[in-house]
Structure 1
Amino acid sequence: MKNIGFIGLGVMGGPMAANLARAGHSVVGHDLGADRVERLVAAGGRGAADLAGAVADADVVITMLPDSPDVEAVALGPDGVLRHVRPGTLYIDMSTVRPETARRLARAGAAAGVRVLDAPVSGGEPGAVEGRLSIMVGGAAADFAAAAPLFEALGTTVAHVGPAGAGQTVKAANQLVVGGVYALVAEALVLLEASGVDGRTGLDVLAGGLAGSRVLDLKRESMVKREFTPGFRVDLHHKDMGIALAAAREADVALPMTGLVAQLIAAARSQGHGSLDHSALLKVVENISGKDRA
Structure 2
Amino acid sequence: MSARTIAFIGLGVMGAPMAANLVRAGFDVVGYNRTAARTDALVAAGGRAAPSAAEAAEGADAVITMLPDSPDVESVVLGEGKVLDRMRPGSLLIDMSTIRPDVARALALAGAEAGVRVLDAPVSGGEQGAVEAKLSIMVGGEEDAFDAARPVLDALGATVVHVGPAGAGQTVKAANQLIVAGVIELVSEALVFLDAHGVDRGSAVRVLAGGLAGSAVLDRKAPSMLARDFDPGFRVDLHHKDLGIVTAAAREAGVAIPMGALAASLMASLRAQGFGDLDHSALLLQVERLSGREGETSN
Question: Following superposition of structure 1 onto structure 2, how do residues 86-235 of structure 1 map, counting pairs within 5 Å?
Answer: 86-235=88-237
Q: Please give the alpha-carbon distance, in whole angstroms, between the structure 2 residues aligned to 1:227 and 1:26.
A: 36
Q: Distance in 1 between matches of 2:54 and 2:92?
A: 16
Pick from 37, 59, 62: which aligns with 2:61?
59
Aligned length: 294
Contact 2:66 2:96 in 1 (8 A): yes
Provide the identity percentage.
Answer: 66
**Conserved in 1, the CA contact under 8 Å of 2:91 and 2:117?**
yes
Provide the aligned C-alpha RMSD in A.
0.9
Q: Secondary structure at the match of 2:294?
A: coil
Cross-structure match for 2:76? 74
Residue in 2 that maps onto 1:251:
253
Instruction: Tell me, in whole angstroms, the C-alpha distance in 1 between the residues paired with 2:137 and 2:281.
Output: 22
Moved more, 43-52 or 113-122: 43-52
| CA distance in 2: counterparts of 1:224 and 1:4, whole angstroms | 40
State the secondary structure of the residue aligned to 2:34. Answer: coil
Moved more, 278-287 or 33-42: 33-42
Taking structure 2 as the reference length, what is the TM-score of the superposition?
0.97
Deviations 1:208-260 (A, max 9, x none): 11100001111211101111000000000000000011111122111111100
* Separation (CA, whole Å) in 2 of partners of 1:34 and 1:48: 9
Q: Deviations over 1:71-114 (max 9, x none)?
A: 00000012111111111111000000000000000011111111
Question: Where does the alignment leave 5 or more consecutive residues of structure 2 unmatched?
Answer: none
What is the CA–CA distance in structure 2 between the aligned matches of 1:86 and 1:102, rounded to whole Å?
Answer: 20
Query: Which of 85, 98, 116 is 2:87 aligned to?
Result: 85
Q: Structure 1: how far apart are the matches of 2:27 and 2:40?
A: 17
For residues 123-146 of structure 1, what are the alpha-carbon distances to aligned partners after superposition, in whole Å with 9 as ceiling and x for unaligned?
A: 000000000000000000000000
TM-score by length of 1: 0.99
Equivalent-residue separation in structure 1 for 2:54 and 2:284 (angstroms): 43
Q: Judge conservation of contact 2:119–2:141 (CA < 8 Å) in 1.
A: yes
Show the counterpart of 1:17. Answer: 19
Whether 1:288 aligns to 2:290 is yes
Matching of residues 43-58 of structure 1 within 5 Å: 43-58=45-60
Q: How far apart, CA to CA, are the structure 2 residues paired with 1:15 and 1:204? A: 30
